[in-house]
Structure 1
Amino acid sequence: MNQIQQALTYIVVLLTDMMLQGDPVHEGTVLEVEKSVRDDWRGSRLARDATEKEIEEYRLEQGAVEVIGDDIDALARQRGDLEDEVAVLEQSKGQVATELQQLTEQRDKLAEEVTALEAKAKATKAGAK
């Protein structure tokens, strides 16, 4: 809220339960209202001006709500980033699995070749004797 808007609003404490825009609002609730509403409610004894301590608590609460909202937005962005990283890792995992299968097949072929060469070497050695 900018400086001009803040100067035109007041923090009040309700002195009775009431309905605001169809919603129940209970006695003791701290609200920020325009000057005309504040004047009407004070004149009707529906609300009183908030004390400095109540105003400070209200401002802290509103700031906390904004901070929490910002934190939620940041966490949502982080979650999206992590989901993107997971997708990339899943893709890499698939590529590594394919490479592993190819290397395994290559190892098996080489093992067969080694076995054949060893058998040939034995046969050659046996024939030389």
Structure 2
Amino acid sequence: MHQLLGASAGLTAALLMPTQPATAEVPAVCHVAYERTGDSWSFDGKITITNTGPSTLYGWTLKFSLPVGQTFRSGWEADFHVNGQDITGYSRPYNSVVSRENSVQVGFHAAGSVRGPRPAEFRINDHVCTTS
């Protein structure tokens, strides 16, 4: 009887032990190449968005935040909306479909030094992209 109770207690303890959830790295579905040209007063940012996911993108939304000291002025090849430092760019009808391993380019003009910091991250459709 003691053996049965001991085994039962051990099983109960094992069942009550917290377990770590299984985590798997989710591969990035996008890559953003970010380039800047300009001077100490203003710069142009070129963003190349590459679809690295398993399927075609049908419409995309780009999100990033400019570092403090940089101010978005205008953009092209996307419909941009600005909320403080947060920038959101929406695809246009002519560049909304991006097949696997293909790219689309957008750009913007900003006030601030070209030598200032880069945005910390870029997201496409709420997925964090790898960057270069």
Q: One fold, TM greater than 0.5?
A: no
Does 1 or 2 have the higher relative contact order (CA < 8 Å, sep 6+)?
2
| Bigger Cα Rg | 1
Pairwise TM-score range, normalised by the shorter structure = under 0.3
Choose between structure 1 and 2: higher strand proportion: 2
Choose between structure 1 and 2: higher helix proportion: 1
Alignment TM-score, normalising by the size of structure 1: 0.24
